Structure 1
Amino acid sequence: MIEIVALHVSPVHAFEGRPSDGPRPDPGPVSRDHVVVRAGLGIVGDRYFNHPAHRNAAVTFISAESLREWSADPLLARRNVVVRGFDVDALPRGTVFSLDSGDGPVRFEVHRPAHPCAWMDQVIGPGAFKGLRGRGGIRCVPLDDGVLRTGKSAVAMMDA
């Protein structure tokens, strides 16, 4: 068992332009207790849902352990799914895993790392950009429709 610590859905991209100019305000609540996932499309309501440029990377994951030294707020990194007890950065490209938080398993395929950007220093704190290199999470494509909820979750690794 692992824990889904936080779920983040944002309808707009708040980090555009220069970090020194500051982020755009989010238009509404972004923290959720559950999210709806659609196969091949992403998380319903998220800015990358069915976005052609992000179709294979629409859902981002980060390990809470990677953020521990930088922030008490796991949503600041703006990854969709923050997990505890699951080292997502160790998963190679092409890995398929599932999470089941009570509504049935939802499979995800790892496509690439979610590299941190210069905004991390502005939003999380000085040094976070360099400190999160190699620990910024992963970008995945969902392979199933389903629901993820915060709290305990079963995780399973599967053959691709």
Structure 2
Amino acid sequence: MRLPFETPVTIELLLASPQHRYEGRPSDGPVDATARELHDSIQVRAGLGVVGDRHFGQRAHVTASVTVMAAESVEYVARTLGTGPLLAADTRRNIIVRGLDIDAMRGETFSIDSGHGAVTLLAHRPANPCGWMDVVLAPGAHRALRQRGGMRCEPLTSGTLLLGPAIVRRAVASTAPVPLF
């Protein structure tokens, strides 16, 4: 499949966590990390997900094994709630990119290429925020992230993604700049 329309982006965060850290009640707080979660690069495998991530190879997560979110969404929450900077890693999304309105791409096939070959993804459905966002980001973050939580994607091809500049290719042209919300 040829994806002719290109958008330069920056991959700001790559997360692969072997454990679910937001278990139980949000009021109890997250489970402590037992392994490194943030990486300079990640391996994505077609039909399986991010190597080393808790959803890798899980049948229930085949079409939702990779989550992609816009950095601008986290910044919107900080501005709206007046909190100062928030940690995008607390959203638990696998890939945080700057310069892409991923929330508008439901149903689209797109690729991300950070210099080691393109990884093609299909954006199936929104990665809706949960009540944990009010605990780990700030009170009110759950509501502020509605329709800004990113997309749950199915990896169609395998490859490596690295932090830094990248190119997103889509079958349709982006008609507007990334909203600052």
> What band does the TM-score fall into relative to the shorter chain?
over 0.9
Provide TM-score, normalisation by structure 1: 0.96
Aligned residue for 2:44? 37
1:85 equivalent in alignment to 2:92: no
Deviations 1:26-67 (A, max 9, x none): 112111000000001000000000001101100001100000
Q: From the two aligned structures, give the one with the greater helix fraction.
A: 2
1:98 Cα deviation from its structure 2 partner: 0.3
Q: State the 1:158 CA deviation.
A: 2.8
**Alignment-mate amino acid for residue 53 of structure 1:** A
**What TM-score does the superposition give when structure 2 sets the normalisation length?**
0.85
Distance in 2 (alpha carbons) for counterparts of 1:14 and 1:151: 26
Structure 1 CA distance for aligned equivalents of residues 23 and 39 of structure 2:
23
Runs (4 or more) in structure 1 with deviation over 4 Å come to: none
Query: Match for 2:163: what amino acid?
Result: T
Greater C-alpha Rg:
2
Distance (whole Å) between structure 2 residues aligned to residue 116 and residue 72 of structure 1: 15
Partner secondary structure for residue 144 of structure 1: coil
Q: How does 1:12-91 map to 2 (within 5 A)?
A: 12-68=19-75, 69-70=77-78, 71-91=85-105
2:134 to 112, 121, 132: 121
Letter of the 1:81 counterpart: I
**Are positions 1:11 and 2:18 aligned together?**
yes
Aligned counterpart in structure 1 of residue 170 of structure 2, from 127, 148, 157: 157
Query: Alignment length, in residue pairs?
Result: 158
Residues 97-133 of structure 1, C-alpha deviations (whole Å, 9 max, x = no match): 0000010111000111000000000000110000000
Alignment partners' CA distance in 2, 1:144 and 1:153: 17
Unaligned runs of 5+ in 2: 1-7, 79-84, 173-181
The alignment yields a C-alpha RMSD, in angstroms, of 1.0
User: Which consecutive unaligned segments of at least 5 residues does structure 1 have?
Assistant: none
- Report which stretch shifted further, 78-87 or 21-30: 21-30
Structure 1 position 76, deviation (Å): 1.1
Q: Does 1:135 align with 2:142?
A: no
